[in-house]
Amino acid sequence: MSAVTDFYGSGVNLNGGQFGAYRTPTRRHRGQDISHSSKPGTVAVPALHAGRVISKTVPGPTHGFGYSIVIRSVLDGMEFDFRYAHGPWASQQAIGEEIPQGKIILHEGNSGATSGSCVHIEQQRVGGGFLDPLGEIRSVAAGRLTAPAPKPAPTPAPAPAPAAVRSVRKGDKGALVSAVQARLKRDYPLYASRLVVDGEFGSKTDAAVREFQRRAGLTVDGIAGPKTLARLGL
């Protein structure tokens, strides 16, 4: 385990702090809140992914972010902006600075529009809309690296057999289907709370998978393949 996987593997607020939760009758939460302590400034926030700092904010009347920082990351060939908000003081990183995954960029705090100490994380596709960042959070908690780790010197070895591709779709049955159903039901109650964890990939599971893919910026095909499973943390 590492500091980044430890941080994102706990403290996720799914009781009102999740993407899509209503803030007012007409406004929904567009990020995910994470909190490990009620005391501002005591918990450091590592960068979810490597990237470049493109903007920062300080508390002001035109937004509710308080002290925040935005890092642009490239994932699977696509650009995404990740905002980390509500810091207790300004981030020390400079605009244009390259940030490695796991570098401390902020601390959990209570500046801006928040009722307690936390970090608010938003994910927005560059040129597009806001996405549910929970998939990326779960993926990093499960060990996803933004940049490849150093490779050891190659040694002669027989070519391994091709790895089996994990994938389930409508009509499939089994333990992986149950795992997908359980993760959707637990982490995405806004649209998957009524899923039955029965190991049978039926119409309701298909609809929930498609909704998850849509919100996560993935190809919407109803197939829980490698990318969808990774975003689910499976």
The domain that holds 104 is classified in CATH as 2.70.70.10
Within-domain flag for 222:
yes
Predicted local confidence at residue 96, as pLDDT: 96
Q: Looking at the structure, tell me whether residues 191 and 130 fall in a common domain.
A: no
Residue indicated by tokens 């918990």: 43
Rounded Cα–Cα distance for residues 49 and 72 (Å): 9
Q: pLDDT tens digits, residue range 57-75? A: 999 999 999 999 999 999 9
Q: How sure is the predictor about 153, in pLDDT bands with cuts at 50, 70 and 90?
A: low
Q: Looking at the structure, tell me whether residues 98 and 179 fall in a common domain.
A: no
Q: Looking at the structure, tell me whether residues 227 and 136 fall in a common domain.
A: no
Domain coverage including residue 101 = 3-141
Q: Looking at the structure, tell me whether residues 58 and 114 fall in a common domain.
A: yes
- pTM for this entry: 0.70
Within-domain flag for 155:
no
Q: How many domains in the chain?
A: 2
CB 21 within 8 A of CB 31: no
The domain that holds 219 is classified in CATH as 1.10.101.10
Within-domain flag for 70:
yes
Rounded to an integer, the average pLDDT of 114-136 is: 96
Q: How sure is the predictor about 152, in pLDDT bands with cuts at 50, 70 and 90?
A: low
Q: Where are the beta strands (DSSP E) in the chain?
A: 22-24, 27-28, 32-34, 44-46, 51-57, 67-75, 78-87, 98-99, 104-107, 119-125, 130-131
Within-domain flag for 146:
no
Pair of tokens at residue 154 = 């190659």
Q: Looking at the structure, tell me whether residues 54 and 134 fall in a common domain.
A: yes
Rounded Cα–Cα distance for residues 19 and 48 (Å): 17
Q: Looking at the structure, tell me whether residues 127 and 200 fall in a common domain.
A: no
